């Protein structure tokens, strides 16, 4: 009986499209609606699972500690030598952490990681780069083209996560950094489906994450994206890893933007900026100057605002265009921020500003391809619309920021003083900001107009 139980295996039925689990096989997945995507997955033997759980419980009991006894001192982080990457990671790499870096093909994911591990290997930090897609000759050719030091970088061409971990165990001393390129081509013996399927990606990522936590190895996983720019594979992939960053490009494809979508060891929404050239990705030390490359001749509808991205301010230009409606239904189009918020701001402008745009087509755009995720740009958007409607040019040394409420009040934003100081450093002379963000002491060279309502902000604009 015991022998029979020892051979019994646990199985599950998983949709290869969305990752939904079922107790039995079915022809159609009720979650995503796809047909013939439910496959049987072997999860392992009951006896082995029971033994592993028992061992896990024993280990956890031996590690039980009072929360008050836990050392609060922050573990030393490993620096990659690329300050923009370190910023997005929260100040460097935490030992035992798992970082998932995603992006479209050609964005520069592999290039960025190759540059990072070359910098670390040159500082005697042991690294292992595992390639499941490219040959070692291709990677060596890229490193030679980028003029990177390669004598200390260990390489491996493998797609089995079990064999990768066996190789890691056999290297003495064990590498501190492991790069998996990419997680979508990895496979594990615990899943019977083909590499790249939902179950294989989930199980492979889970296996590597457990290895990282047990051996205090920091792992970078490269992830592919779908046509809608979301990470390919199960949603649980984002929950498994500690940090998820996405590498994208601006509209003109000259720059790359690295954004932290999840970070257990740092700020979410932190941005890193790079310029792509023939020698790889180069850090952009002053991203505000990158997004403020304005036309020599000022035009109406152009306004500057100061965003707060992660832990630093960022000056960007917002453009608005108001034109006569050519058809029966006026269009409202927003690029770079929420289109529904544009509609709400126009309603507030009509109700509390006395400026009606119901019969006009309105287009708004954040220059440079940056995505605005905060409400501090509300005032700049509204002023840009009014500037275009009245064909009145805003001085190029003037900027606006502030959140607009439904009752027409101008609400304060976070880190207002830091935004003002950064704009003053870039040569701006005038600012229109929320009254609650008014600085206690004057900032040299900056004239601040603190307003409490939208009507007051429009009065300041009319006096220009």
Q: For residue range 9-50, list pLDDT tens digits in order.
A: 556 777 776 667 787 888 888 877 788 878 776 654 433 443
On whether residue 74 sits in a domain, the answer given is no
- β-pair partners for 38: 15
pLDDT at 66 over 80: yes
**Does residue 77 sit within a domain?**
no
Q: What is the pLDDT of residue 6?
A: 43
Could you tell me what percent of the chain has a pLDDT over 70? Answer: 91
Can you tell me which residue has the tokens 């399927």? 197
CATH of the domain at 344: 3.30.230.10
- Whether residue 270 has pLDDT greater than 70: yes
- Residue 75 pLDDT class (50, 70, 90 cuts): low
Question: How far is Cα of residue 143 from the mean position of the Cα atoms in its chain?
Answer: 26
Higher pLDDT, 386 or 253: 386
Q: Give yes or no for residue 314 having a pLDDT over 60.
A: yes
CA distance 78 to 380: 40
User: What number is the average pLDDT over the span 255-267?
Assistant: 92
Q: Are residues 173 and 261 in the same domain?
A: yes
Amino acid 5: pLDDT:
41
What is the chain's mean pLDDT, rounded?
88
Residues 395 and 79: their CA atoms lie apart, in Å, by 42
What number is the average pLDDT over the span 265-294? Answer: 87
Residues 250 and 336 in one domain: no
Domain boundary among 233, 259, 285: 285
The verdict on 346 and 244 lying in the same domain is: no
Can you tell me the distance from the alpha carbon of 168 to that of 361, in angstroms, rounded to the nearest whole number?
60
Same domain flag for 209 and 161: yes
Residues 253 and 271 in one domain: yes
In this structure, is residue 64 part of a structural domain?
A: no
Residue 273 is predicted with a pLDDT of 92
The answer to whether residue 72 is domain-embedded is: no
Residue 65 lies in a domain: no
Of 285, 314, 332, which residue is a domain's last?
Answer: 285
What is the structure's pLDDT at 37?
79
Predicted local confidence at residue 424, as pLDDT: 95
Say if residue 298 is in the same domain as residue 445: yes
Same domain, 349 and 386: yes
For the residues 385-402, what does the mean pLDDT come to?
96
Q: Say whether both 358 and 379 belong to one domain.
A: yes
- What's the whole-number mean pLDDT along residues 188-206? 86
pLDDT digits (tens, 9 = 90+) for 78-88: 999 999 999 99
Q: Is the pLDDT of residue 8 over 70?
A: no
- Counted domains in the chain: 3
Task: Return the bridge partners of 28, or none.
Answer: 35
pLDDT band for 4, please (50, 70, 90 cuts): very low
Same domain, 352 and 433: yes
To 5 degrees, how large is the angle CA 316–CA 254–CA 300? 35
pLDDT at 53 over 60: no
Mean pLDDT score, 281-306: 87
Q: Between residues 234 and 175, which one has the greater pLDDT?
A: 175
* 142 pLDDT more than 80: yes
280, 294: one domain: no
The answer to the question of residue 256 being in a domain is: yes
**Do 213 and 254 fall within a single domain?**
yes
State mean pLDDT over 116-142.
Answer: 95
Residue 73 has pLDDT above 70, yes or no: no
Mean pLDDT of 421-444: 95
Task: Select the highest-mean-pLDDT range: 204-213, 249-258, 291-300.
Answer: 204-213
Q: Does 374 fall in a domain?
A: yes
Is residue 186 predicted with pLDDT exceeding 70?
Answer: yes
Q: How confident is the model at residue 300 (pLDDT cuts 50, 70, 90)?
A: very high
In a domain, 365, yes or no: yes
HEC states along the chain?
A: CHHHHHHCEEEEEEECCCCCEECCCCCECCCCCCECCEEEEEEEEHHHHHHHHHHHHHHHHHCCCCHHHCCCCCCCCECCCCHHHHHHHCCCECCCCEEEEEECCCCCHHHHHHHHHHHHHCCCCCEEEEECCCCHHHHHHHHHHCCCCCCCEEEEECCEHHHHHHHHHHCCCCCCEEEEECHHHCECCCCCCCCCCHHHHHHHHHHHHHHHHHHCCEEEEEECECCCCCECCCCHHHHHCCEEEEEEECCCCCEEEEEEEEECCCCCCCEEEEEEECCEEEECCCHHHHHCCCCCCCCCCEEEEEEEECCEEEEEEEEEEEEECCCCCCCEEEECCCHHHHHHHHHHHHHHHCCCCCCEEEEEEECCCCCCCCCCCHHHHHHHHHHHHHCCCCCCCEEECCEECCCCEEECCCCHHHHHHHHHHCCCCEEEEEHHHCCCCCCCCCEEEEECEHHHHHHHHHCC
Give the residue numbers spanning the domain of 393. Answer: 290-462
The verdict on 260 and 215 lying in the same domain is: yes
Distance CA 117, CA 144 (A): 14
In which band, very low, low, confident or very high, does the pLDDT at 145 lie, cut at 50, 70 and 90?
very high
Is 55's pLDDT higher than 80? Answer: no
What value does the CA radius of gyration of the chain take, rounded to a whole number of Å? 27
Confidence of residue 2 (pLDDT cuts 50, 70, 90): very low
Q: Of 238, 265, 285, which marks where a domain is finished?
A: 285
């Amino acid at each position: 009986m015991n022998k029979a139980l020892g051979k019994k295996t646990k199985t599950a039925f998983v949709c290869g499209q969305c990752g939904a689990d079922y107790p039995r096989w079915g022809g159609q997945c009720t979650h995503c609606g796809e047909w013939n995507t439910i496959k049987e997955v072997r999860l392992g033997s009951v006896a082995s699972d029971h033994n592993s759980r028992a061992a896990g419980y024993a280990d956890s009991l031996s590690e039980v500690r009072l929360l008050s006894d836990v050392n609060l001192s922050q573990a030393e982080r490993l620096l990659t030598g690329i300050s923009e990457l370190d910023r997005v990671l929260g100040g460097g790499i935490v030992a035992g952490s798992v970082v998932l870096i995603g992006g479209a093909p050609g964005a520069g994911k592999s290039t960025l990681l190759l540059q990072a591990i070359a910098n670390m290997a040159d500082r005697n930090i042991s690294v292992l780069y595992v390639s499941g897609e490219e040959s070692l000759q291709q990677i060596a050719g890229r490193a030679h083209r980028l003029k990177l030091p390669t004598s200390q970088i260990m390489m491996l061409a493998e797609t089995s996560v079990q064999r990768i971990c066996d190789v890691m165990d056999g290297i003495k001393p064990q590498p501190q950094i492991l790069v998996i390129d990419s997680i979508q081509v990895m496979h594990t013996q615990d899943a019977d489906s083909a590499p790249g399927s939902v179950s294989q990606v989930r199980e492979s990522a889970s296996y590597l994450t457990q290895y990282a936590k047990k051996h205090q190895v920091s792992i970078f996983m490269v992830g592919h994206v779908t046509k809608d720019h979301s990470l390919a594979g199960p949603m649980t992939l984002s929950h498994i890893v500690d940090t998820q960053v996405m590498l994208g490009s601006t509209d003109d494809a000259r720059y790359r933007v690295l954004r932290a979508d999840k970070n257990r060891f740092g700020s979410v929404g932190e941005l890193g900026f790079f310029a792509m050239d023939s020698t790889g990705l180069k850090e952009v030390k002053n991203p505000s100057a990158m997004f403020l490359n304005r036309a020599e001749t000022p035009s109406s509808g152009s306004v500057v605002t100061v965003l707060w991205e992660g832990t630093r301010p960022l000056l960007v230009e917002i453009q608005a265009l108001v034109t006569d409606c050519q058809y029966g239904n006026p269009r409202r189009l927003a690029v770079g921020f929420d289109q529904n918020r544009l509609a709400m701001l126009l309603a507030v402008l009509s109700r509390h500003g006395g400026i009606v745009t119901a019969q006009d087509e309105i287009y708004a755009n954040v220059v440079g391809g940056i995505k605005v995720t905060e409400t501090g740009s509300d005032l700049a958007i509204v002023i840009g619309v009014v500037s275009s409607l009245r064909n009145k040019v805003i001085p190029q040394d003037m900027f606006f920021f502030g959140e607009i409420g439904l009752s027409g009040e101008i609400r304060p934003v976070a880190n207002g003083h830091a935004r003002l100081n950064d704009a003053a450093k870039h040569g701006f002379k005038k600012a229109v900001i929320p009254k609650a963000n008014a600085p206690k002491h004057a900032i040299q060279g900056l004239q601040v107009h603190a307003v409490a309502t939208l009507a007051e902000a429009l009065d300041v604009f009319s006096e220009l």
